[in-house]
């Protein structure tokens, strides 16, 4: 374990990934300091104006809005759209800062739950084999046969709007990869003599899977998981962009890109006039995914003996 950490920190690419990730974690933790919330629900993006047109970076909060907050008796700790506003006056900066929390939530929760489901199904399928393996793997095949994005979209539409619905959809169609990987690994590992030795000592099946097999086989799954945290966030963003994800006004990166949908090309004669509506959310998403991919890549290099040059 120490060796893995040391390698992660001594490798330039993974170091970049780790630094990016640390920055994102800091943003997520200090979100209330960086972008002080104006309303009760912190995930609601405040509006800086009622104007439908995006406002350029640095525009101040409009007087009407200020009046509303004054009327509600809220303290205005924050009154300038640093990255400009998106369609409808939504503050891009606030959306991105609090969207970082959303991104972590989506990434970590969906990946960890789908990994657990995958590990469970894959390991019992491989260990017990025979008809159980047959049934579980055919179910996995059925789930795999759906195109991921379309399936997730349909399920989210059926379940209704909301971040939790998005996560459920991502989990339901996201566990199969882990199940397949762990199944393959356990199929080969369970032929090892140490498994036979453990059985010869009278160790119970669940303990053999949990204590003897998983520690030997889980690393490829962890690599895949770390890589897919990024892609889960992209998929969630895509769902939001398509309008089936987080509710309107919820701090979510996909939502921010979705706000930019009508403004990407700019206005006639002024191409790219509203660049800030798409560039800033784009940067956040790209860097977040990049961070996880760099870490995942390095993890794979460290843990795969064939790439390490030792075999």
Partner 1 sequence: MITNNKEPLLEVKDLKTYFFTENGIVKAVDGVGFKVYQGEILGLVGESGCGKSVTAFSIMKLLDYPGKTVGGEILFKGENLLRKTDAEMRKIRGKDIAMIFQEPMTALNPVLTVGFQISEALLMHFKISKDEAIKKTIELLKKVGIPMPEQRINEYPHQLSGGMRQRVMIAMAMSCDPILLIADEPTTALDVTIQAQILDLMSTLLREFKGSLIMITHDLGVIAEIADRIAIMYAGKIVEYANKRTIFYSPLHPYTFGLLTSIPRLDIEMKRLNVIPGIVPNPLHFPEGCKFNPRCRFMTNRCKEEEPQLIQVEEGHLVRCWNIDKVAEEVKKELLVGECEYK
**Positions that interact with partner 1 (CB under 8 A):** 129-130, 192-194, 196-204, 207, 211-212, 215-216
Nearest CB to partner 1, comparing residues 1 and 52? 1
Give the separation between CA 120 and CA 296, rounded to whole angstroms. Answer: 22
Which residues contact residue 147 at a Cβ distance below 8 angstroms, ignoring those fewer than 6 apart? none
What does residue 272 show for φ and ψ, rounded to 5 degrees? 70, 20
| Of residues 97, 148, 149, 51, the one with CA closest to residue 256 | 97
Nearest CB to partner 1, comparing residues 193 and 270? 193
H helices present in the chain, as ranges: 2-10, 12-29, 31-34, 63-72, 92-128, 130-144, 148-159, 163-172, 176-189, 193-200, 205-207, 214-217, 219-241, 253-260, 275-303, 305-308
Nearest CB to partner 1, comparing residues 196 and 307? 196
Query: Which tokens is 170 given?
Result: 């991502």
Q: Report the nearest approach of partner 1 to the CB of residue 301 (Å).
A: 20
Q: Report the nearest approach of partner 1 to the CB of residue 294 (Å).
A: 26
Q: Report the nearest approach of partner 1 to the CB of residue 89 (Å).
A: 56
Q: Report the nearest approach of partner 1 to the CB of residue 210 (Å).
A: 12
Nearest CB to partner 1, comparing residues 127 and 288? 127
Query: Which tokens is 149 given?
Result: 């994005």
Query: Which tokens is 309 given?
Result: 């040059």
Radius of gyration of the chain (CA): 23
From the number of C-beta atoms within 10 Å of its C-beta (0-12, 13-18, 19+), residue 68 rates as middle
| Of residues 262, 260, 267, 266, the one with CA closest to residue 284 | 260
Nearest CB to partner 1, comparing residues 16 and 203? 203
Give the separation between CA 92 and CA 73, rounded to whole angstroms. Answer: 24
Give the separation between CA 179 and CA 136, rounded to whole angstroms. Answer: 10
Nearest CB to partner 1, comparing residues 164 and 192? 192
Q: Report the nearest approach of partner 1 to the CB of residue 205 (Å).
A: 9
Q: Report the nearest approach of partner 1 to the CB of residue 190 (Å).
A: 9
Nearest CB to partner 1, comparing residues 129 and 147? 129
Nearest CB to partner 1, comparing residues 62 and 217? 217
Report the DSSP beta bridge partners of residue 80.
60
Q: Report the nearest approach of partner 1 to the CB of residue 134 (Å).
A: 13
Q: Report the nearest approach of partner 1 to the CB of residue 204 (Å).
A: 7
Q: What is the 8-class DSSP label of residue 30?
A: T
Q: Report the nearest approach of partner 1 to the CB of residue 195 (Å).
A: 8
Nearest CB to partner 1, comparing residues 198 and 278? 198
């Amino acid at each position: 374990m120490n060796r893995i950490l040391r390698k992660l920190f001594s490798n330039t690419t993974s170091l970049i990934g780790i630094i990016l990730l640390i920055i994102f974690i800091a943003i997520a933790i200090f979100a209330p300091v960086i972008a002080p919330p104006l309303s009760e629900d912190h995930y609601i993006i405040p509006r800086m104006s009622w104007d439908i047109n995006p406002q350029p970076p640095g525009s101040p909060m409009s007087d009407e809005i200020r009046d509303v907050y004054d009327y509600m008796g809220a303290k205005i700790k924050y009154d300038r759209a640093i990255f400009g506003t998106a369609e409808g006056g939504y503050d891009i900066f606030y959306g991105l800062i609090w969207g970082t929390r959303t991104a972590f939530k989506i990434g970590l929760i969906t990946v960890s739950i789908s990994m657990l489901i995958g590990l469970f199904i894959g390991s019992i399928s491989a260990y017990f084999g025979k008809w159980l393996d047959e049934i579980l793997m055919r179910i996995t095949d059925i789930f795999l046969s759906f195109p991921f994005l379309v399936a997730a979209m349909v399920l989210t539409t059926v379940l209704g709007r909301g971040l939790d619905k998005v996560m459920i959809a991502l989990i339901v169609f996201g566990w199969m990869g882990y199940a397949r990987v762990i199944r393959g690994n356990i199929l080969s590992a369970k032929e090892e003599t140490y498994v036979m030795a453990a059985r010869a000592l009278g160790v119970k099946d669940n303990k053999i899977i949990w204590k003897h097999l998983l520690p030997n086989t889980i690393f490829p799954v962890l690599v895949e998981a770390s890589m897919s945290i990024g892609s889960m966030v992209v998929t969630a963003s895509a769902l939001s962009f398509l309008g089936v994800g987080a509710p309107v006004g919820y701090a979510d990166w996909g939502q921010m890109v979705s706000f930019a949908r009508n403004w990407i090309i700019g206005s006639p004669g002024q191409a790219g006039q509203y660049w800030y509506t798409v560039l800033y959310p784009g940067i956040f998403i790209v860097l977040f995914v990049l961070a996880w991919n760099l870490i995942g890549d390095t993890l794979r290099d460290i843990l795969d003996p064939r790439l390490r040059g030792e075999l």
